[in-house]
Copies of this chain bind each other. A is one copy, B any other.
Amino acid sequence: MEFFKVLHKYKEARVCEINTLHGRVETPVFMPVGTQATVKIMTPEDLQLSGTSIILANTYHLYLRPGTDLIQKTGGLHKFMGWNGPILTDSGGFQVFSLQELRKITDDGVTFKSHIDGSAHFFSPVKVVEIQNILGSDIMMVLDECPPYPATHDYISDSIDRTIEWAKRSKAAHKNHNQALFGIIQGGVYEDLRERSIREMVLLDFPGYAIGGVSVGEGKELIYRAVDLCAPLLPEDKPRYLMGVGTPEDLWYAVEKGVDMFDCVFPTRIARNGGVYTPEGQIAVRNAEFREDLGPIDKTCGCYACKTFSRAYIRHLFNVHEVLGMRLTTLHNIYFMIRLMNLIKKAILENNYEAEKERFFSSYKI
């Protein structure tokens, strides 16, 4: 079976399929984030019922806790966390390079101190591949250097050279072809560097490519500029993954430009703070204005939270610090994102993207 196939195109937007050992993923796809081998508060069953087809986990976090040895002993990450569907693991590059004071980069890799106990560790591109081989994720990411924002043209240029060199080593070290190893495009805000990064990364012929370095302190304008620039230059016959991005407006924007895959902590993070998506936009269900609102969060939604409880009840749960509140809002927001992606997919298949997008934003206020 082919790993990737474009099923339908409408202008630049595409509906595609990705086939993995743990199942098929239809794109465009939103991937809930399960950093520490759990999408916060959700069970695998909850995710399945929401229509989630693939989730994310994080190499850096899992390497530190519980440690690769235990996951290996368990028989891989799928078994460890009880999720039998596809998993994408981030390389941990983003996390390691966020440890500003705690890391040192060389051409061999990066030495860093654990954010938990300060213990010293070393990630090389090869080691990160080996860890992900043990995790057994279906899609793996190469270790890339994630430069800070802002950074100079010179700095980013050197960084790209290093990331390309690391990508070569990663590819050479990766032996398990049941796991697809994706390359990552960097280049910051510099058009020429994004182009060079793509040109050189594509020469390495990865089964998929991610647009990286777009959620590091950059505003929406910069994210969208990177998408505008990268998406058209990436190969048609490979999946395109926009890392760390995924509010409703971002999805509509980037899918239209030809992006296929998204992950974002935002929908689940706001949920834990009482923020929920509705067809009219995001609302803070914990606010006093919903104290007597006997309707569901979203009357068009079929999730358990919306079918069972009122805004007033969920607001009460937040008000009295009951965790069930977060559990219900998280569940709802994941449903919302999956359902939104289905709507977007349908708009592509029906060659009706612009009209559907307009219809969505006629009620949804950012």
Contact = CB atoms under 8 A, between A and B. Distances in A.
Quickly give the copy total for this chain.
Answer: 2
Contact of A82 (B43, B292, B313, B326): B313
Contacts of A292: 70, 73
Contact of A45 (B44, B294, B304, B310): B304
Interface string A297-333: 0000000100011101100110110111011100000
Interface residues of A, number: 37
Interface in A6-50: 36-38, 40-45
A171 interface: no
A37 B313 contact: yes
B327 A41 contact: yes
Nearest to A310: B74
A42 B308 CA distance: 13
Nearest to A65: B320
B309 A66 contact: no
A81 interface: yes
Contacts of A37: 313, 316
A43 B316 contact: no
A293 to B, nearest CB: 10
Contacts of A316: 36-37, 65-66, 70, 80
Contacts of A269: none
Main secondary structure of the interface of A (DSSP, over half): helix
Contacts of A73: 292, 294
Contact of A43 (B65, B320, B324): B324
A65 B323 contact: no
Contacts of A36: 316-317, 320, 322
Given A291-B70, A294-B73, A40 B313 contact: no
Contact of A291 (B66, B81, B320): B66
A114 to B, nearest CB: 13
Nearest to A328: B43
Contacts of A328: 43
A117 to B, nearest CB: 12
A324 B45 contact: no
A291 B310 CA distance: 40
